[in-house]
Amino acid sequence: GQNIDQPTEMTATEGAIVQINCTYQTSGFNGLFWYQQHAGEAPTFLSYNVLDGLEEKGRFSSFLSRSKGYSYLLLKELQMKDSASYLCAVINQAGTALIFGKGTTLSVSS
Amino acid sequence: EPEVTQTPSHQVTQMGQEVILRCVPISNHLYFYWYRQILGQKVEFLVSFYNNEISEKSEIFDDQFSVERPDGSNFTLKIRSTKLEDSAMYFCASSETGGLATYEEYFGPGNRLSVT
């Protein structure tokens, strides 16, 4: 089976840096995704990691350690519009579906 | 930019009725998915579809659910006899590739289903 854990809620202020952690236990590993979901909207793709290390994309970066079953999403120069849920998801063993964590709701205040 | 579309955006139905949720995936994508999200809960995988057949389905996707690609553009999810607990947002997604290759799933805006 697969289990994905991430904090339920986080708060931060505009301009700050925040790190959202995700730990996973899977039977086989085929890749990990981070999605952003604003309330009432669809998830939108942020990043994909399959090898260890850091992937940087503008203000957002994602890190993966396969040996530790651990990933984080780093958001820099936070803006109010970054207030959203951030979903960690792993590809299932067959590679046919995404299995999502419960998501971390980030609130950014001024 | 191409996008996944879904209709209707919100459907209200009575318990026991059949509903069909419609999706138009991105045109050159080959893999199609349905997920659901009960209010306040996580996104849950229902089913994946490739080459006109189901690739995988979750334990949620029981005999009350079915999927179909009736033509070259639509991908539908049918719930045969709705229950109160089927009330949720249903997201359709598509991806250009699938299997064990790198793939990004593009999600549609969702069909909100309310069963009364």
**What local confidence, expressed as pLDDT, does residue B102 receive?**
57
Closest CA to B77 of B25, B38, B20: B20
- Indicate which of B43, B49, B97 best probes the interface with A, i.e. most A CBs within 10 Å of its own CB: B43
Q: Are the Cβ atoms of B99 and A50 closer than 8 angstroms?
A: no
Q: Are the Cβ atoms of A42 and B107 closer than 8 angstroms?
A: yes
Least confident of A15-19, A26-30, B17-21: A26-30
What are the tens digits of pLDDT across the range B25-76?
A: 999 898 999 999 999 999 999 999 998 999 999 999 999 999 999 888 899 9
What are the tens digits of pLDDT across the range A33-87?
A: 999 999 989 999 999 999 999 999 899 999 999 999 999 999 999 999 999 999 9
Q: What are phi and psi of B60, to 5 degrees?
A: -70, -35
A94 interaction partners in chain B (CB closer than 8 Å): 55-56
Q: With a cut of 60, say whether residue B101 has pLDDT above it.
A: no
**What local confidence, expressed as pLDDT, does residue B96 receive?**
86
**What local confidence, expressed as pLDDT, does residue A5 receive?**
97
Question: Torsion-angle region of residue B36: left (phi > 0), alpha (psi -120 to 50) or beta?
Answer: beta
**What local confidence, expressed as pLDDT, does residue B98 receive?**
62
CA distance B116 to A54: 47
CA quadruple B62, A43, A9, A84: dihedral sign? negative
* A50 and B CB contact within 8 Å: yes
